[in-house]
Amino acid sequence: MSTKFKFLGFSSFLITTSSGTDILIDPYLNDNPVSPVKASGFEKVDLLLVSHGAFDHLGDSAEIAKHYGCPVICSGDSKLLLLERGVDKAQLIETTWGLTVKAAGIKVRPVESRHRSCVTLQNGCVVTANPLGFIIYTEDDTRVYNASDTALFTDLKLIGELHRPHIGLMNVTIENPFDFLPEFLTGEMTAYEAALASQWLRLDYAVACHYTQKDCEDIQIFINQLENTRSGERPYTKPIAMDAGQTFEYAPGGIAKVY
Amino acid sequence: MSTKFKFLGFSSFLITTSSGTDILIDPYLNDNPVSPVKASGFEKVDLLLVSHGAFDHLGDSAEIAKHYGCPVICSGDSKLLLLERGVDKAQLIETTWGLTVKAAGIKVRPVESRHRSCVTLQNGCVVTANPLGFIIYTEDDTRVYNASDTALFTDLKLIGELHRPHIGLMNVTIENPFDFLPEFLTGEMTAYEAALASQWLRLDYAVACHYTQKDCEDIQIFINQLENTRSGERPYTKPIAMDAGQTFEYAPGGIAKVY
Amino acid sequence: MSTKFKFLGFSSFLITTSSGTDILIDPYLNDNPVSPVKASGFEKVDLLLVSHGAFDHLGDSAEIAKHYGCPVICSGDSKLLLLERGVDKAQLIETTWGLTVKAAGIKVRPVESRHRSCVTLQNGCVVTANPLGFIIYTEDDTRVYNASDTALFTDLKLIGELHRPHIGLMNVTIENPFDFLPEFLTGEMTAYEAALASQWLRLDYAVACHYTQKDCEDIQIFINQLENTRSGERPYTKPIAMDAGQTFEYAPGGIAKVY
């Protein structure tokens, strides 16, 4: 009985639960140079989660939703864009902070993310909504927190207390390969802040994301910061940083491994 | 000298202050199966408060504003929709978090609500704004907090410290009768979270809302959670759950009753 | 070696760093009755910061950006409006909470502001974005916090801990001279809240703003509140209130003066 997290680069993950449910998160794949799989290349997708309306998160969601016919849990702006791109309304589950929904047997509670969610529709309308963090409850009660580009905020402690997530998918740094964006000197969280966030959430495992290459300074700082809090027998948050294509496997109360 | 809170179902309340001022909050009445009064059925409305642009909160505000000619304190998106529906601009008092306004002799301070406020205008533009919690100061200095669909957040403690509200109108659960919405397993706050919120706000009385039928599990949990914190002489937050049409009456320092 | 803050009325400041870099913040000048300088009257502007899309903050930014050709760090809605008003896209650096950018040699980290940012485009679209607080790192590592109409929130303590700003530009009150706005009884923060905010941020100097005349009750309350926390040798936040046209000069670890 285990949950597998396949890292696809940027903030994209394919989670396979112990019951075999495939949950895809923030699929930015077709234009992502390191993703080992493109939008139509999955065996199946049972559930798609879209945290917010950004090109590197909403990404290929329309193509995926149409190809696999899966339910999509998303923010209000993302829903409007996905409708416009031809996704069937019946697949789209719009929610906001707190409003728990269930699809494909998976319970998902959206929590605050301190970021911006924004899409531009064909009529020229710029629509915003609440960006969504997610607490994902798998069938074996493994609880996964998806941070989704949040800035650091103290209520991550509250989220930790209320939901006790085992694993967090944490934005630790930022990619700067885009000529249409400014150069950002830090991500929404610095590596230090992402480590703090992981501890405030009381994570067992903090899986770094929002990068293509793990051999960068921010990832090293994140790992060091979390490793340095280790002291004797005290539980601590263990950092995980993968190359795209690698999988982190987690068994409740048991062994975790990367391969 | 007392303040009366008549529950109209969902999050709609008619507050009558000790001076006889009638304040209507989030009037979702005409399509609300349990409301004992419809939009044009009030004797008078002196002040209308609209917390955010949602069908079950903004509701019948346009009809009411036009029928009674009363001032309306509202968020920026709600103002645009109410203008479009023919409400006189002079009636509309747009505000946001912190900016205290006064109308009909009542001082109102908007505070944060962690939710989404969103309307769609006739030109197809989807407009968002800050959803508003309210601190209402009546003429006898009874202080009322209106939560308005907020998710739980720790700064409710700050709101409690700064404003010391006596009574809170708290979203405890969620209605699921709408075929155009997903089924939500929890409201923005669970019943447990709404009880926590009430305590963090240091309320004397927490009046449950966002339901039509009080005989549901969430309301029972909310009541039990607050009752169980009672111990000897220690002040505590007393839960109130009413049927639509019932009234909670509160006298400063004195007797409170439901009838 | 010193940093100079010239107050221009409302929330407009011209900051001149110890290296001579001129940073203009939230320039509401041409319609501002007390500003000693209008949009085209500066010797030079090296960097323009726009915290949010409001008439009294975005103000004359388009004219200034075009006249001086300087980079503009701004929120997403402000960027769209400035583009529409003819500012060159290459000058506009859109960012959001956490995403640090650098321009004109100055590092700027946007932080949360609990307010609303909103513009209306020519196509009738009403666009919102995250309003931006700023931490400005000057070349001599003087750290300046710009509050920008925020309501009070506890994570100001977190901002204080993470960034240790020396000087804060704090919205303490509100102007009520506009016939198109309601009369606000308080600003987004009351004077008491602005003093609390300054202490939570651990500021050395709290420079009051969002007013035209300093001889008002709110400014006096703000000053008294901060002065009254002085006790013996304990460091405390010193309040500064200037008339438009005056300059506050700050030298790291040394003398600060107003003239």
Distance of alpha carbon B29 from alpha carbon B12, whole angstroms? 8
- Please judge whether B188 and A96 are an interchain contact, meaning their C-beta atoms are less than 8 angstroms apart: yes
User: Averaged over C214-238, what is the pLDDT?
Assistant: 85
For chain A, give the mean pLDDT.
95
In degrees, to the nearest 5, what angle opens at C-alpha C118 toward C-alphas A95 and C203? 95
Nearest-CA distance from C38 to chain A in Å?
29
Residue B253 — pLDDT band, cuts 50, 70, 90? confident
Other CB atoms closer than 10 Å to residue A230's CB: what's the count? 12
- CB B220: neighbour CB atoms within 10 A? 13
Instruction: With beta carbons under 8 A apart, name residues in chain B contacting A102.
Output: 183, 185
Q: Which of C80, C109, C154 sits opposite A126 (nearest CB)?
A: C80
Residues of chain B found within 8 Å of residue A89, distances taken between Cβ atoms: none
pLDDT higher than 70, residue C233: no
Contact C109 A186 (CB under 8 A): yes
Is C231 part of the contact surface with chain A (CB cutoff 8 Å)? no
Chains in contact with C via at least 3 Cβ–Cβ pairs below 8 Å: A, B
Q: pLDDT by residue (tens digit) across A217-241?
A: 999 999 999 998 766 555 689 999 9
Distance from CA of B13 to the nearest CA of A (A): 23
Closest Cβ–Cβ partner in A115, A182, A187 for C93: A182
Predicted confidence (pLDDT) per residue in A4-60, tens digit: 999 999 999 999 999 999 999 999 999 999 999 999 999 999 999 999 999 999 999
The pLDDT of A63-73, averaged and rounded, is 98
- Choose among C210, C214, C212, C157: nearest CA to B98: C210
Helix (H) or strand (E) holding C67: helix C61-68
Q: What is the pLDDT of residue B202?
A: 94
The pLDDT of residue B47 is above 80: yes
Mean pLDDT of B182-192: 96
- Cβ–Cβ of C182/B93 closer than 8 Å? yes
B167-196 CB burial, b ≥16 within 10 A, e <16: bbbbbbbbbeeeeebbebebbbbbbbbbbb
Q: C41 exposed, middle or buried (CB, 10 Å; 0-12, 13-18, 19+)?
A: exposed
CA-to-CA distance for B101 and B79, rounded, in angstroms? 15
Nearest to C135 by CA among A151, A169, A133, B247: A151
- Facing residue for C99 by CB, picked from A153, A187, A193: A187
Considering only the beta carbons, identify the residue of A98, A101, A128 that sits closest to B151: A98
Total count of residues recorded for chain B: 259
Percent of chain A beyond pLDDT 70? 97
Q: Is the Cβ pair C127, A126 closer than 8 Å?
A: yes
Residue C196: the pLDDT is 95
Shortest Cα–Cα distance, A141 to chain C (Å): 31
pLDDT tens for each residue of C159-206: 999 999 999 999 999 988 788 899 999 999 999 999 999 999 999 999
| Backbone dihedral angles phi then psi of residue B84, each to the nearest 5 degrees | -60, -30
| Model pLDDT, residue A233 | 53
Q: Which residues of chain A does C127 touch, with a Cβ-Cβ cutoff of 8 Å?
A: 126, 128
User: How far apart are alpha carbons C20 and A155 in whole angstroms?
Assistant: 40
Question: Is B53 within 8 Å of B26 (Cβ atoms)?
Answer: no
Q: What is the mean pLDDT of chain C?
A: 95
Instruction: Show residues of chain B in contact with A76, CB under 8 Å.
Output: 116, 118
pLDDT 10s digits, B111-168: 999 999 999 999 999 999 999 999 999 999 999 999 999 999 999 999 999 999 999 9
What is the ipTM for the molecules in this complex? 0.96
Q: Does residue B152 contact residue B196 with C-beta atoms inside 8 Å? A: yes
Percent helix, strand, coil in chain A, to 5, is 20, 30, 55
CA A29 – CA A206 distance, rounded (Å)? 22
pLDDT of res. C116: 96
- Please give the residue of chain B at the shortest CA–CA distance from A124: B125
Q: Which residues between 107 and 136 in chain B have a beta carbon less than 8 angstroms from any beta carbon of chain C?
A: 107, 109, 111-112, 121, 123, 125, 127-130
- Per-residue DSSP letter, B194: H
CB B113 within 8 A of CB B78: no
Instruction: Provide the shortest C-alpha distance from residue C61 to chain B (in Å).
Output: 23
User: Which residue is closest to C75 within chain A, CA to CA?
Assistant: A116
The reported pLDDT for the residue numbered C146 is: 98
Please, how many CA atoms are within 13 Å of residue A49, restricted to the half-sphere of its CB?
32
Cβ contact B134:B146 at 8 Å: yes
Mind listing the pLDDT tens digit for each residue in C123-169?
Answer: 999 999 999 999 999 999 999 999 999 999 999 999 999 999 999 99
B236: buried, middle or exposed (CB in 10 Å: 19+, 13-18, 0-12)?
Answer: middle
CA torsion through residues B179, B185, B187, B188, sign? negative
Tell me, what's the pLDDT at C177? 73
Pairing of strands B47-50, B22-25: parallel
Instruction: Kindly state the average pLDDT of the residues B23-34.
Output: 97
Segment B178-185 shows an average pLDDT of 92
Interface probe with C: pick from B49, B96, B101, B126, most Cβ of C within 10 Å: B96
A180 at interface of C, judged by CB pairs closer than 8 A: no
Q: Which CB contacts under 8 angstroms, 24+ apart, belong to C28-31? A: C28/C55, C28/C56, C28/C57, C28/C59, C28/C60, C29/C59, C29/C60, C30/C59, C30/C60, C30/C63, C31/C59
**Whose CA is closest to B82, among B49, B104, B58?**
B58
Buried b (16+ CB within 10 A) or exposed e, A124-139: ebbbbbbbbbbbbbbe
CA Rg, chain B, in Å? 17
Instruction: Pick the residue from chain B with its C-alpha nearest to A91.
Output: B182
Residue A255, pLDDT score: 82
Candidates A149, A151, A115, A184; CA nearest to C101 is: A184
CB contacts of B130 in chain C (<8 Å) are 115-116
C228–chain A Cβ distance below 8 A for any pair: no
Q: Which residue on chain B is closest to A119 by alpha carbon?
A: B126
In angstroms, the Cα distances linking B121 to A55, A84, B84, B118, C6 are 26, 18, 8, 10, 42
What letter would DSSP give residue B234? -
Nearest CA to CA, how far is C88 from chain B (Å)?
26
**Residue type present at position C91:** Q
Tell me which chain B residues have a C-beta less than 8 angstroms from the C-beta of C124.
121, 123, 125
Please state, in angstroms and rounded to a whole number, the distance separating the CA atoms of residues B33 and B8.
10
Could you say which of A154, A174, A182 has the minimum Cβ distance to residue C158? A154
Which residues in chain B are contacts of C193 at CB distance < 8 A? 98, 162
- pLDDT tens by residue, B65-114: 999 999 999 999 999 999 999 999 999 999 999 999 999 999 999 999 99
Is A182 close to C100, i.e. CB distance below 8 A? no
DSSP state of B152: P
